[in-house]
Structure 1
Amino acid sequence: MSSSNIYLRKLEMKDASDLLELKLRNRNFYQQFEPIRDESHFTLEGQEREIATGIQGEANDQSYIFGVFMKETNELLGRIALTGIARGAFQNAYLGYFIDEIHNGKGYATEAVSRCVNYAFNEIGLHRIQAGVMPKNIPSIRVLEKAGFRHEGLAKKYLKINGTWEDHELFAITAE
């Protein structure tokens, strides 16, 4: 998947050190939007496990994990994933993403979300993608809105983020 600014590529083991560097650089910035993670997550082995889980998830059609890369430099700018894939009558996945803080506000997240949605609908045959965002995360809400997601409601105490059960605004997009 490519575009004028970025491209998505499934993460591979060779990306583990770049992914670790990205997460360490953004750890404080994103902690307010993330679950509390064990320190082992912030190691090379932790990132290799995450990538291996993504590879295994794809093999089982349960998840697809991509790196968001700058086209000109091949720099890893972020991560985007389709997880919790349900087939049958649902054909649904959950979407999660983040972009390096220094690249926020440049349209890369919106572009990555649009490319990932296109992949989900046209390459792996999903019908619906949903995402949950904390109400205070206005930039992420704008990303989903610009990518064509519709607001579906508020889920109270939806996920445990940074040690607290947080409400999340729910968004979805369907293939239509």
Structure 2
Amino acid sequence: VAEEVRNLAGRSAEAAKNTANLIEESMAKAKQGSALANESGTILGEIVTNSTKVADLVAEIAGASREQAEGISQVTTAVTQMDQVTQQNSALSEESAAASEELSAQAVNLKDIVGGLIEIIGGRNEGDTKVVRMPRKALAAPAAKIAHKPSAPAAPKKAKEVKAEEVIPMDEDDFKEF
């Protein structure tokens, strides 16, 4: 019986030793787990901080993208307006060219008429006609009279009979310059 008690006491001591070892290992693992949990908490805190920074950067990028879109819209509007102005200038240039051609044709026609008048008045047309420039005021006065004619027909006045020689003297050589 003593031997049995001894065996039982030895086994109890060994079991107590094993239990103590298991408790120590569990405590060491608990400390290690606690340290890992603290480290994980620190890392999660850094992740939250970095996530906040990323969210702020994304918000800034979104704001910059909106501003850039507005700028592009303004540039598009400006380019459209420039295109319209260019088209208007082109149309005005074409109109100016057409008016220039018309004026050129009228100048040629006027030159022919003046040449005919010179032939009628002076009896000569040698092609060396000299252009006489009249001051603008002298040209504007008859144009103003024509522009301000009354629209209602005036009562016919009795015209004074004038001889052609009095209006256009044929014996003078004043028109040799033409």
- Is the shorter-chain TM-score for this pair beyond 0.5, marking a shared fold? no
Larger Rg: 2
Give the TM-score normalised by structure 1. Answer: 0.23
1 or 2, which has the higher strand percentage?
1
